């Protein structure tokens, strides 16, 4: 029974908190009539490439051609893929009301245009898309790009207004959406197979998570493993590994992180006959789902004269 209890030992491993909104948003209110929201992985890319401005101009150029397809009495949703296609469909039918001096003011429907390009989207919201062709939307956006702040590792939402061609930064609305770098202490447990022998382990570690734009990307750490096995007389042996590890988010997603890592360990305390002298362990660590960790392992022992595989599965939250 004690074998089973060790193998099924439970763990408590802190799982990172991740921000759902990845990347940056640059929001521009134009003449109190149009809202432009540019969603892009890094707002500073707007300074190094004109692809967003080009896409905006292309969309404005096609508006006269689809004007007859827009419904003046209801909300429209226009989808434009740069250089590919444009579609018009019914939009959100709700009517927007504003409270002014204790009274409701009916502001009507809202049209929405979604302009999709290479790694960016532009959301244009207004009361009537058919009447914005003559507005200086591209020029306003270009002026905003000129005054964007210095680069930041935070995921930011930056707000501006453009009134009669003049730009004003709305600093009080700006937000940081991203996770910062952090220090993490961890405690965990797992079960594995080494030399056809079932073992259990407890793990303790400390590492530093490096984040950018709301995503934890890299995580170097140091940890120790207490590996438990039993001899022929049913006595417990405790073998201690000291490990250096490094893992990274291969999908670079916040809501569904997919971590892959490598770890090199050395046996600093040896009990029993399971491991030989000067034992090293190389592990590939993968977390396919939350709280589950799969680690194929390679042991190099007896002064580099013996090599054998192992496998470990860890559990936690």
**Domains in the chain: boundaries:** 2-19+179-315, 24-176
Summarised one tens digit per residue, pLDDT across range 246-270 is 988 877 555 556 788 999 999 999 9
Instruction: List the beta bridge partners of residue 82.
Output: none
Model confidence at 18, pLDDT cuts 50, 70, 90, reads: very low
Beta-strand pair 24-30/156-163 = parallel
Report whether 291 contacts 312 (CB < 8 A). Answer: no
pTM exceeds 0.85 for this model: no
Question: What is the share, in percent, of the chain residues with pLDDT greater than 90?
Answer: 60
What ranges make up the beta strands (E) of the chain?
A: 24-30, 34-40, 76-81, 85-90, 96-100, 103-108, 111-117, 120-126, 156-163, 166-169, 175-176, 182-194, 197-212, 215-230, 236-249, 259-269, 280-289, 292-301, 306-315
Model confidence at 195, pLDDT cuts 50, 70, 90, reads: very high
* Mean of pLDDT over the chain: 86
Beta-strand pair 111-117/76-81 = parallel
Alpha-carbon 313 to chain mean position: 25
Among residues 172, 135, 141, the alpha carbon closest in space to that of 157 is found at: 172
Q: What is the pLDDT of residue 256?
A: 58
Summarised one tens digit per residue, pLDDT across range 161-192 is 999 999 999 988 888 766 677 788 888 899 99
pLDDT of 283 over the 90 cut: yes
Alpha-carbon 162 to chain mean position: 31
Alpha-carbon 160 to chain mean position: 26
Query: How many CB atoms are closer than 10 A to CB 317?
Result: 12
Second CATH level (architecture) for the domain 2-19+179-315: Beta Barrel (2.40)
> In degrees, to the nearest 5, what angle opens at C-alpha 291 toward C-alphas 289 and 292?
65
Which residues does 281 contact at the CB level (< 8 Å), separation at least 6? 241, 243, 263, 264, 265, 266, 267, 297, 298, 299, 300, 310
Query: How many CB atoms are closer than 10 A to CB 59?
Result: 24
Question: What is the share, in percent, of the chain residues with pLDDT greater than 70?
Answer: 89
- Distance CA(74)–CA(94), nearest Å, equals 9
Summarised one tens digit per residue, pLDDT across range 95-105 is 888 887 888 88
pLDDT of 209 over the 60 cut: yes
- Distance CA(18)–CA(215), nearest Å, equals 7
pLDDT of 213 over the 70 cut: yes
Summarised one tens digit per residue, pLDDT across range 41-85 is 899 999 999 999 999 999 999 999 999 999 888 899 999 999 889
Q: What is the pLDDT of residue 255?
A: 53
Q: What is the pLDDT of residue 216?
A: 76
Summarised one tens digit per residue, pLDDT across range 299-311 is 999 989 999 999 9
What ranges make up the beta strands (E) of 33-181?
A: 34-40, 76-81, 85-90, 96-100, 103-108, 111-117, 120-126, 156-163, 166-169, 175-176
Among residues 273, 284, 287, 280, the alpha carbon closest in space to that of 308 is found at: 280
Which residues does 173 contact at the CB level (< 8 Å), separation at least 6? 27, 157, 159
Which residues does 184 contact at the CB level (< 8 Å), separation at least 6? 14, 16, 206, 207, 208, 209, 219, 221
Q: What is the pLDDT of residue 22?
A: 55
């Amino acid at each position: 029974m004690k074998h089973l209890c060790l193998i099924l030992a439970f763990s408590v491993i802190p799982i990172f908190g991740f921000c759902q909104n990845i990347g940056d948003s640059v929001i521009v209110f134009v003449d109190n009539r149009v809202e432009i929201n540019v969603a892009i992985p890094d707002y500073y890319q707007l300074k190094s490439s004109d692809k967003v401005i080009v896409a905006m101009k292309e969309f404005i150029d096609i508006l006269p051609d689809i004007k007859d397809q827009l419904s003046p009495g209801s909300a429209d949703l226009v989808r434009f893929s740069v250089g590919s296609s444009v579609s018009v469909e019914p939009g959100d039918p709700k009517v927007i009301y504003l409270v002014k001096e204790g009274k409701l003011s009916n502001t009507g429907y809202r049209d929405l245009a979604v302009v999709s390009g290479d790694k960016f989207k532009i959301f244009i919201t207004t009361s009537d898309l058919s009447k914005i062709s003559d507005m200086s939307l591209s020029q306003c956006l270009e002026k905003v790009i000129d005054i964007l702040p210095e680069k930041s590792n935070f995921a930011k939402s930056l707000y501006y207004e453009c009134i009669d061609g003049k730009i004003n930064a709305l600093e009080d609305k700006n937000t940081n959406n991203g996770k910062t770098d952090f220090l993490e202490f961890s405690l965990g447990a797992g079960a594995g197979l080494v030399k056809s022998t079932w073992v259990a382990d407890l793990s303790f570690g400390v590492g530093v998570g490096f984040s950018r734009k709301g995503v934890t990307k890299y995580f170097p750490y140091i940890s120790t493993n207490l590996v438990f096995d039993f001899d022929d007389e049913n006595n417990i042996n405790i073998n201690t590994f000291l490990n250096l590890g490094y893992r990274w988010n291969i999908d670079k997603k916040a809501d569904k992180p997919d971590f892959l890592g490598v770890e090199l360990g050395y046996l600093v305390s040896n009990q029993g006959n399971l491991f030989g002298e000067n034992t090293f362990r190389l592990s590939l660590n993968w977390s396919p789902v939350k709280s589950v960790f799969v680690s194929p392992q390679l042991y190099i022992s007896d002064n580099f004269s013996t090599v054998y595989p192992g496998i470990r599965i860890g559990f936690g939250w």
